[in-house]
Amino acid sequence: MLPPPAVFHFLWEINTDLVKDGASVRTYGRLISYKPEGSKAVLSGQQSSAQCHVSVQTTLVEPFQPTLGAQYFVLGEIEKTDGLTGVILHARALSNVDGVDLTLMQKAIREQRCFFKKRIPEINEQAPHCEPSYVKKL
């Protein structure tokens, strides 16, 4: 009855094999386009110097006030199609979080992942390299 938990992922991870088809995810990105007719939005994120885009199906979260260029937090299910459309995120929750500290957000997600990885060493979920920041400070 209850939906599965939505695990935090970075936008650039969604297009890779790290995220399976049908998985519930939560992520964030900058809104760069919105088409109300097709209920399609596109979020963009930056890793190092590379830009990446993810399409978001906004049928379930409409109507919402789109602010192009603002940061948005989105939660929903991934659909991976083999066709040209690529990956689509069917949003169940969408909110404007413009002003969010992106560096701090990334750090928080990485620390949490590090902690989970240490707890369950036999289930090695994400392979991203994890360095807990408290170690760095020393």
Partner 1 sequence: MAVNPGDADADELPSMLWGLDPDFSAYSRLYITDILQMKESRQVPGAYFYKTHPIFKVDVLGTVVYKREREDFYCYGVDDSTGVINCLCWKDEKCSDHGGSTKCKDPSGSSRGFNIEDELKRLTEAEQKSTVLEIGDLLRVRGTVKTSRDAREISATSSYKVNDPVMAVHISRMLEMPQLYRKCYDQPFQMPRDDLGGTEAGGSSRYHYLLSRSVLTLKEFFLEKEVARFRPYDVEFLLHPLIQSSSESDQPGTSFATQIRNLLKETLSVLQDEGQIFRKIQTQDEVYNVTEQDKDLHTEIKDVLREDTKREKYAEKGCHVLHILSSVRQGYSQNLSQEMLEVALTFLECNSDITSTTEAHYTVL
Positions in the binding site for partner 1 (CB under 8 A): 1-8, 26, 28, 61, 73, 75, 92-101, 104-105, 107-109, 111-112, 114-116
Minimum distance of partner 1 from residue 84's CB (angstroms): 30
Biggest CA pair distance of the chain: 53
Q: How far apart are CA 90 and CA 22, in angstroms?
A: 10
Task: Rank residues 49 and 103 by Cβ distance to partner 1 and give the closer one.
Answer: 103
Q: How far apart are CA 133 and CA 138, in angstroms?
A: 9
Query: How many Cα atoms within 13 Å fall on the side-chain side of residue 89?
Result: 32
Task: Rank residues 85 and 95 by Cβ distance to partner 1 and give the closer one.
Answer: 95
Minimum distance of partner 1 from residue 42's CB (angstroms): 20
